[in-house]
Chains A and B, each alone.
Chain A
Amino acid sequence: MNFRKSTMSDLLLELFSEEIPARMQAQAAADLKKLVTDALVERGLTYEAAESFVTPRRLTLHIVGLPVRQPDQREEKKGPRVGAPEAAVQGFLKSAGLASLDQARIETDKKGGQFYLAVIERPGAATLDVLAEILPAIIRNFPWPKAMRWGAHSAEPNCLRWVRPLHAIVATFGPETEEPEIVPFEIGGIKAGNTTYGHRFMAPQAIKVRRFDDYLTALGAAKVVLDPARRRDIILHDCKDLAFAQGLELVEDEGLLHEVAGLVEWPVVLMGEFDASFLDIPGEVIRATIRANQKCFVLRDPETGKLANKFLLVSNVIASDGGKAIAAGNGRVVRARLSDALYFWKTDQGPLPDYAHLGKPLDQRLAKLRALNIVFHQKLGTQGARVDRIMALARELAPLVGADAEKAARAAELAKADLVTEVVGEFPEVQGLMGRTYAELQAEDGEVAAAIEDHYKPQGPNDLIPSAPVSIAVALADKLDTLVGFWAIDEKPTGSKDPFALRRAALGVIRIILENGLRLRLASLFAEIARTFGVRDAAELAKSLLAFFADRLKVDLRDRGARHDLLDAVFALGEDDLVLIVSRINALDSFLKTEDGASLLAGYKRAGNILKAEEKKDGAGAFEKHPEANLRIEHEEHVLAAALDRAEREAGEALKAEDFEGAMHALTKLRAPVDAFFDKVTVNSENPDLRRNRLQLLAQLRRAIHLVADFSKIGGA
């Protein structure tokens, strides 16, 4: 054990630069770890553990338990036979790196022929040298989303690029017990060493480091929290504490937390304040303003859920006045931003110059939207044209989803009007919400106003699904117009490319339909919409889009832990009513979990395999005639035939009533007769008539089961 320990060494690598964008930090830390460890493993150097860290100014990697040398390598290279032509010999010597044939061995093969063999022994290189070789290449080719040149070096053709100017590199390598060595390399005029620097303002001095332990301690003393997770913990904890002390509650924001933790090396949370009169502005707008521009957290009253006129900021210094000036300064900026927001908010409620005669404030914005001829997509026309289509579609969908057609049309008409409001221009993330708020202010019907907000939903997996009929009509109209439109111009998502978020739109439609139990025949609906886009083969488009929906539904089922492979079995029946498809899947799922179900599936597969083999001989569809009663000789044949007739009848009736459990139950009665049939009856009888009739019986079994689902598409079992 002692031996092992003394031969194991650790690497400390720190790349110290000007401020790395917060959004790139996590990926950079992951990339650094992967690139270095992969390169080491590729060179036969395995390690015990590796961890990477990142702050705004440094990217750090710590690898524990690396051997000090690569293992030795031995390679045998077979050469030409003894006496081979000179050219072959020379080629061999060259490729094996030998000076003359004296350095090669002569071996004898099985047939007694003699040939040359070169034994090439490569002693493993020192890990320090391997590091010195791989680190510069990794740094030079680091996958930053955007890299830059800087300084006098930048005039040179192959100058170093980094995310921001790189200033220093720490690279030490050595065992725990001894003074580590510096990995000898230089890149872009920067020599790797053992010097780093503390916090920019609070401890800017140079720090000599040896290995990770003292590095971490020294940074801590120099006001740098190296680990981003720890910075996040500190921020969250302090935010909650400060909020609690004021009787308030933090409005948590995971994305913002990650971002601010990437903006500071030493987080100090402070509370600021703004005038309570700004609370007239909708809470979402206040939050968006403070978040987007100031990267501050907002607080709410835990009783009422309303925003408080306080906010939390995360500074990077322990200020000499305890942070008073910083909090006051931030407060001033927040007030300035909120007065901008207030100006936008008021402006949006007033008349629009040039459009003031065109109805209520939101109608005026709609008029402007139309007049601006903003292009939605080159091939799909303007936003105005889109509004017209969504209106027509919402009106048409309304009766199908139990909504008032006029309200649905009105909501669709106003749904996009907020895109030309000042507030949405400034904060696109509050689109919809602002439309609703302005609609309420101009006394639109409540369902109409709600639909304006909800028509964008669901935006993500955790978003709410619209449930009010008018909202449903507009949400579906909006998404279906998008989907069919892009299908019509053949802009379907491919691979990872989905620039118009069509997958999300389809999943949105699916979830709205399923959670509201909407009974829609999608294929005909798609085709109908496709015709409004002037699509020639609307049925073909509907088929392709429906297949896309099936894929999305499968993903959705998988995400919810359901057996998505059953979808294929049900979808193969040509069903396009999602509610029916899903209840069939659910019934099928429970059915297959029963012993009867599993056994019937096995019987089905057996029957299917036999049929497939025999159809190869007799031709496809050769056994689809109803079996004849007078050709049954075995008792089991009679029992199965009777059971099949009954099961078909009962399952058919249950299906008519959309009673899938009932249909499955009808099929379970087939299990015993099927098992007995396979047990006792030889299908491929020597008598051709008996054989044909038995195969027809199996084909009938297959048909009966296909009433419920195409079992051949079910995996496993």
Chain B
Amino acid sequence: MIQSDATPNSSALDPKKSFQGLILTLQNFWAQKGAVILQPYDMEVGAGTFHPATTLRSLGKKPWKAAYVQPSRRPKDGRYGENPNRLQHYYQYQVILKPSPDNLQELYLQSLAAIGVDAALHDIRFVEDDWESPTLGAWGLGWECWCDGMEVSQFTYFQQVAGVECAPVSGELTYGLERLAMYVQGVENVYDLNFNGLDGDARITYGDVFLQAEQEYSRHNFEAANVEKLFGDFSRAEAECKALLAFGEQVDDKHHKMVLPAYDQCIKASHAFNLLDARGVISVTERQSYILRVRELAKACGAAWMKTEGAGR
């Protein structure tokens, strides 16, 4: 069914009726708050934090405001499409504000109101959750944000990223888009989410878009991914990251000219590790050493970034 121009289909944009409407509303909200609206990073990452717009841009003194959707891959969370809440691929909405504004909590609550979460009707709570990313060499303090007992966002004041002290501190908001959408749409199964806000035959659900992918990728992550290749991927990415960092190092040791490509290799190594972990081929003791190896790469990239224009050197 084609909508006539005279009656624009508002439900396609309604954050309470469509998944895309939720995303678009957040994009508009944060655009109006002065954030640069970026597009997803074009690599496989485990969380929106890995996007260089957060990891690297949160370092250094230059002010920075950005928001973007980031598809996130958690190979181990695959459930073959059978679990109504767990996905190995999902969307995060990521906001990064440097320095963290004094009214960050209020801004966050306003954004919830914008997508239809009414604080007079719902129980919104900030519950302690200290954030730490051992692979990124990063930590911060903040909360899980709960809406009626459901964790819908992570709220973090970055203290350290890639081994570098944050000065000033950035505020990071990460919205779990599927969870939020399930909440505002009143849906119990993620695959039942209305994606485009339309009804009848025109309705496209989250399952229509992603169910097959979840099934196939679960098989891939747990059963098929070639372990030898992944081990090779990890080592090659690690070596390449180091090589690129060495290449970009300047003689004066005060400038660096090849951080972003090197950081891509760090992301690659991290994803290879996540897949190996899902395949269950990394023992407990080895696990720690792989995490450390990725962290070393992230820290080297962070240190190099501090020698660039982007950090406001």
Instruction: Note whether A and B form a binding pair.
Output: yes
Leading 10 A-B pairs by shortest Cβ distance: A329-B148, A21-B128, A330-B149, A19-B126, A155-B168, A315-B123, A154-B169, A148-B141, A155-B167, A154-B168
Please, could you name 23 A-B residue pairs with CB atoms under 8 Å apart, sorted by A?
Answer: A19-B143, A21-B128, A146-B130, A149-B166, A149-B168, A149-B169, A150-B99, A153-B168, A154-B169, A155-B61, A165-B157, A201-B119, A263-B127, A295-B127, A313-B149, A319-B122, A325-B121, A326-B148, A333-B148, A336-B85, A336-B188, A340-B83, A374-B283
Does A316 lie within 8 Å of B125, measured CB to CB? yes
A155 touches B99 (CB 8 A): yes
Supply 13 further A-B pairs (C-beta < 8 A) apart from A155-B168, A330-B149: A19-B143, A148-B140, A148-B141, A148-B159, A149-B169, A150-B99, A319-B120, A325-B121, A326-B121, A332-B148, A339-B83, A339-B84, A374-B284
The residues in B between 136 and 162 inclusive whose CB is less than 8 angstroms from any CB of A are 140-143, 147-150, 157, 159
B102 within 8 A of A: yes
Nearest residue (CB) in B for A163 is: B141
Give the CA-CA distance A6 to B143 in the complex, in Å. 46
Q: How many whole Å from B75's CB to the nearest CB in chain A?
A: 16
From known contacts A201-B124, A263-B125, A375-B285, infer whether A330 and B85 are also in contact, taking CB-CB under 8 Å: no
The reply on B105 being an interface residue by CB < 8 A is yes
Give chain B residues whose Cβ lies under 8 Å from the Cβ of A372.
283-284
The docked-state distance in angstroms from the alpha carbon of A101 to that of B101 is: 59
A375 to B149: give the CA distance in the assembly, Å. 37
Chain B contributes a number of interface residues (CB within 8 A of A) equal to: 43
Q: Does residue B183 face the partner (Cβ distance < 8 Å to A)?
A: yes
If A325-B122, A326-B123 touch, whether A149 touches B159 (CB-CB below 8 Å) is yes
Which of A18, A22, A155, A325 is B148 in contact with, Cβ under 8 Å? Answer: A325
How big is chain A's contact interface, by range? 35 or more
The B-contacting residues of A in range 130-160, CB under 8 angstroms, are 146, 148-155
**Neighbour of A336 across the interface among B61, B84, B142, B157, CB < 8 A:** B84
**Distance in Å from the Cβ of A311 to the closest Cβ of chain B?**
10
User: Once the chains bind, are A146 and B121 in contact (CB under 8 Å)?
Assistant: no
Cα–Cα, bound, A316→B126 (Å)? 11
Q: What CA separation (Å) do A315 and B148 show in the bound complex?
A: 8
* Separation of A21 and B276 alpha carbons in the complex (Å): 35
Query: CB-CB < 8 A to B159: which residues of A?
Result: 148-149
A321 at the interface (CB under 8 A from B): yes
Bound: A319/B166 CA distance, A: 39
B110: interface (CB < 8 Å): no
Q: How far is the CA of A336 from the CA of B189 in the complex (A)?
A: 9
By a beta-carbon cutoff of 8 Å, the part of chain B in contact with chain A is 61, 79, 83-86, 99-102, 105, 118-128, 130, 140-143, 147-150, 157, 159, 166-169, 171, 183, 188, 283-285
Bound CA span A328–B186, Å: 10
Instruction: Note all chain A residues with C-beta closer than 8 A to B124.
Output: 201
Out of A154, A165, A321, name the residue touching B166 (CB < 8 Å).
Answer: A154
| Chain B CB within 8 A of A320 CB | yes
Flag if B84 contacts A319 (CB, 8 Å): no
Q: List, in ascending order, chain B residues with CB within 8 A of A295's CB.
A: 127, 149
Q: Decide if A343 touches B123 in the complex (CB within 8 Å).
A: no
How long is the Cα–Cα vector from A474 to B203 in the complex, in angstroms? 60
- A329 and B183 alpha carbons, distance in the complex (Å): 8
A164, CB-defined interface residue at 8 Å: yes
List residues of A whose CB falls within 8 A of some B CB.
18-19, 21-23, 56, 146, 148-155, 163-165, 167, 201, 263-264, 294-296, 313, 315-317, 319-321, 325-326, 328-330, 332-336, 339-340, 343, 372-375
Interchain CA distance A375-B169 in the complex, whole Å: 38
Given contacts A19-B126, A148-B157, A263-B125, contact A333 B149 (CB under 8 A): yes
Which of the residues B143, B147, B149, B183 comes within 8 Å of A294, measured between beta carbons? B149
Supposing A332-B150, A340-B83 touch, asked if A23 and B123 sit within 8 A by C-beta, the answer is no
Does the CB pair B123–A316 fall under 8 Å?
Answer: yes
Do residues B99 and A152 form an inter-chain contact, with CB atoms below 8 A? yes
Task: Tell me, in angstroms, the Cα distance from A149 to B141 when the chains sit together.
Answer: 9
Whether the pair B148, A154 counts as a contact (CB closer than 8 A) is: no
CB of A334 within 8 A of CB of B126, answer no
Q: Are A150 and B125 in contact (CB under 8 A)?
A: no
Once bound together, how far apart are the Cα atoms of A487 and B99, in whole Å? 52
Docked complex Cα distance between A317 and B125 (Å):
10
In contact, B169 and A151 (Cβ under 8 angstroms): yes
- Kindly report which residue of chain A lies nearest to residue B165, judged by CB atoms: A149
Let me know if B122 and A343 touch, CB within 8 A. Answer: no
Q: How far is the CA of A410 from the CA of B273 in the complex (A)?
A: 37
- A303 and B123 alpha carbons, distance in the complex (Å): 33
Instruction: Provide the bound-state CA to CA distance between A165 and B166, in Å.
Output: 15
Contact residues in A for B85 (Cβ distance below 8 Å): 336, 339-340
State whether A332 touches B122 (Cβ < 8 A). no
A19–B109 Cα gap in the complex (Å)? 14
Question: Which residues on B sit within 8 Å (CB–CB) of A56?
Answer: 126
- A329–B168 CA distance with the chains assembled, in angstroms: 37
Q: Which residues of B contact A150 (CB under 8 A)?
A: 99-100, 157, 169, 171
Report the separation of the CA atoms of residues A320 and B121 in the bound assembly, to the nearest whole angstrom: 5
Decide: A329 near B126, CB < 8 A? Known: A151-B100, A336-B188: no
CB contacts (< 8 Å) of B126 on chain A: these are: 18-19, 56
Measured between beta carbons, the chain A residues less than 8 angstroms from B166 are 149, 154
B121 touches which one: A152, A321, A339 (CB < 8 A)? A321
Query: Which residue of chain B is the closest to A334 with respect to CB atoms?
Result: B149
Write out the residue numbers on chain B whose beta carbons fall within 8 Å of the beta carbon of A151.
99-102, 168-169
Q: How far is the CA of A295 from the CA of B118 in the complex (A)?
A: 22
Asked if B83 and A343 make an inter-chain contact with CB atoms under 8 angstroms apart, the answer reads yes
Give the distance in Å from the alpha carbon of A165 to the alpha carbon of B156 in the complex. Answer: 11
| A319 contacts B123, C-beta separation under 8 Å | yes
Q: Are A330 and B188 in contact (CB under 8 A)?
A: no
Cα distance A24–B168 when bound, in Å? 26
Contacts of B118 in A (CB 8 A): 320
Please determine whether B128 and A22 come into contact, CB atoms closer than 8 angstroms. Answer: yes
CA separation between A320 and B119, bound complex, in Å? 9
Q: Report the separation of the CA atoms of residues A294 and B127 in the bound assembly, to the nearest whole angstrom.
A: 11
Report chain B residues within 8 Å CB of A328: 148
